[in-house]
Amino acid sequence: MPSPTPDFDQIPEADIPRAMLLELAAEFGIRDDVAAVLKAKEAAGGYGLRTMTLARVLRIARAGRGRKQVSDACTLAPSIISAQERGDSKNLRMDTALKMSRGYRVPFILLICAAMRQYGFLPAPGAKPTPRNRTRVRKSG
C-alpha cells in the first residue's frame, strides 16, 4: 500500500527536502534505508557521515564485535574484512558491499557513498572539485 502523499504546505520549510527525499525513496522501495541514513546523519551531526571514509564507517559499525563474528555475518573471508577496515583495498564490488551492509548492519547507500569518498570520487564538503586527469586540446582555426 503506497504511503499517503504528504501535504508540503503543512511541513516546516526545513523538513521539505527530507520529506521529498523519503517520498522518492518510497517509490523505489528503499525508504527504510534512506530513513536510516538520514537518522544516522542527524545523530552524527552536520558533516559527520559526509566526511567518513569506508574504512572508518566499518570500524565504527563493528564496535563491540570481533572480525570473525562480522565476517561470519557477512559470509566473507576475514582477510577481506580486515583489508576493507584498514583501507588497503582499492576497489569494492557491489555484491561484497551488499554482504557487508547486511553483516555490519549499515545501510547499503552509506557504504557506497563512503567507498566513493575513499576512492576519490566524492570530495569532502567544501572541498575544491577533484581535477580531471586529462587535458583538453583545443583546435585553433
Give pTM, 2 decimals. Answer: 0.56
pLDDT in tens, 70-129: 999 999 999 999 999 998 887 888 999 999 999 998 888 888 888 888 887 776 666 666
Q: Which of 69, 52, 78, 53 is nearest to 104 (CA)?
A: 69
**Residue that wins the pLDDT comparison between 139 and 32:** 32
Mean pLDDT of the chain: 77
Residue 42 has pLDDT above 70, yes or no: no
What are the CA-CA distances from residue 74 to residues 1, 47, 55, 101 (Å)?
A: 32, 28, 16, 8
Domains of the chain and CATH, by start = 9-51 (no CATH), 53-122 (1.10.260.40)
Residue 8 has pLDDT above 50, yes or no: no
Give the separation between CA 52 and CA 58, rounded to whole angstroms.
Answer: 10
For the segment 25-52, the average pLDDT, to the nearest whole number, is: 73
DSSP, residue by residue, 2-57 = PPPPP-GGGS-GGGHHHHHHHHHHHHTT-HHHHHHHHHHHHHH-SSTGGG--HHHH
**What is the percent of the chain where pLDDT is above 90?**
15
Contacting residues for 37 by C-beta, under 8 A, at least 6 apart = 49, 107, 109, 110
Yes or no: say if 61 and 55 are a contact pair by the CB < 8 Å rule. Answer: no
Q: Which of 121, 94, 110, 91 is nearest to 52 (CA)?
A: 110
For the segment 29-54, the average pLDDT, to the nearest whole number, is: 72
